[in-house]
Amino acid sequence: MDVLMQRIDRQDAATLERLLRDKGISANDSWRMAIAPHDDYAYVGYLYPLVLANIKAGTVIVFGVAHKARQLDIEDQLIFDSFTHWRGPYGDIAIAPLRERIMSSLPEGSYQVSDEMHGIEHSVEAKLPFLQYYDRAVQFVPILVPSMSYARMTELAVPLAQAIAAIMIDGRLEWGQDIALLASTDAVHYGDEGWGGRDFAFYGADAEGYEKALQHEQEIMGDCFDGDLQPDKIERFTRYTLADHDHREYKWTWCGRYSVPFGLLVAWHLQQLRRARPLTGTILGYATSVDHARVKVDDLDGMGVTAPATLHHWVGYASVGFL
């Protein structure tokens, strides 16, 4: 991890500094809510520290994607684990004790515990080395969000926000300093090759199609994440990404089409419950697996890439912070 961060710094320090300066973000800013990628480190590179360096809280509630939930016949429920800790590059990373209190506060039927689902999922795991790099004592609560309608997201977000608010009040915890929320996603999965026989080249798999896809990505982020966070913006994101006829299907292939809106709904309701200042979103950066130089990782133990990066198969990455 130390070597990876050194390489990101050597390759992209100027880009990181410029993006943060242009967005008016300082090292002292602490996200209350954030959105970050989870793809291969070689491809995502600087987009990880761009957002995760400003997660300052000692406890992070991470809303992850449940990529294989359909295979396990799981939907409409939040998915917790029962592990005491997960492995990290600098030692074990503890599950925060507030997990059990959260679960005990949720309505019956709103969640299940599945170590199997967490064990085969990478969307939370990818964040942990970066969180631990910045804070060796960080703790977290992983919550996977499988397919569900926007109405079901709202139904589950309210009691979860209420549980978090009660924990914050009892423990005198500060949002952004003691506890933070983090949604995991990769942006569009695009192309006509390598997607299990499915064609996700909505605008074509050439340079023109790539540019049109990027324009659509910017439209989504600008409409949904930029500025004051409001429920209509969150619902708008689901209209961009979930098929009109069936919320289980893609309209636009963001793998975080459930984790992102759900996490944002929890954040918005928590802001209302705590009578905190409104959440303001800053789109820190966006990149794709084909638009910048890879970070060299193939000489590091167990690291590499898991998919090709061409105009026929590429992934987008968005880093967004909410103060």
pLDDT at residue 279, as a whole number: 98
Please classify residue 21 by burial: count the beta carbons closer than 10 Å to its beta carbon, then call 0-12 exposed, 13-18 middle and 19+ buried.
Answer: exposed
Name the band, by pLDDT with cuts 50, 70 and 90, for residue 183: very high
User: Does 246 score more than 90 pLDDT?
Assistant: yes
User: Phi first, then psi: what are they for 282, rounded to 5°?
Assistant: -125, 120
Q: Which two tokens stand for residue 39?
A: 């793809």
User: Does 85 score more than 90 pLDDT?
Assistant: yes
Overall average pLDDT of the 169-180 stretch: 98
Classify 311 as helix, strand or coil: coil
User: Does 32 score more than 90 pLDDT?
Assistant: yes
Q: What is the chain's mean pLDDT, rounded? A: 97
Separation CA 213–CA 203 (nearest Å): 7
The answer for 38, left when phi > 0, alpha when psi is -120 to 50, beta otherwise, is: alpha
Identity of residue 167: I
User: Does 243 score more than 90 pLDDT?
Assistant: yes
pLDDT at residue 96, as a whole number: 98
- Give the number of other Cβ atoms within 10 Å of residue 159's Cβ: 17
Overall average pLDDT of the 206-224 stretch: 98
Overall average pLDDT of the 308-313 stretch: 98
For residue 63, what are the β-bridge partners?
A: 143, 183
Overall average pLDDT of the 164-175 stretch: 98
User: Does 302 score more than 90 pLDDT?
Assistant: no
Name the band, by pLDDT with cuts 50, 70 and 90, for residue 256: very high
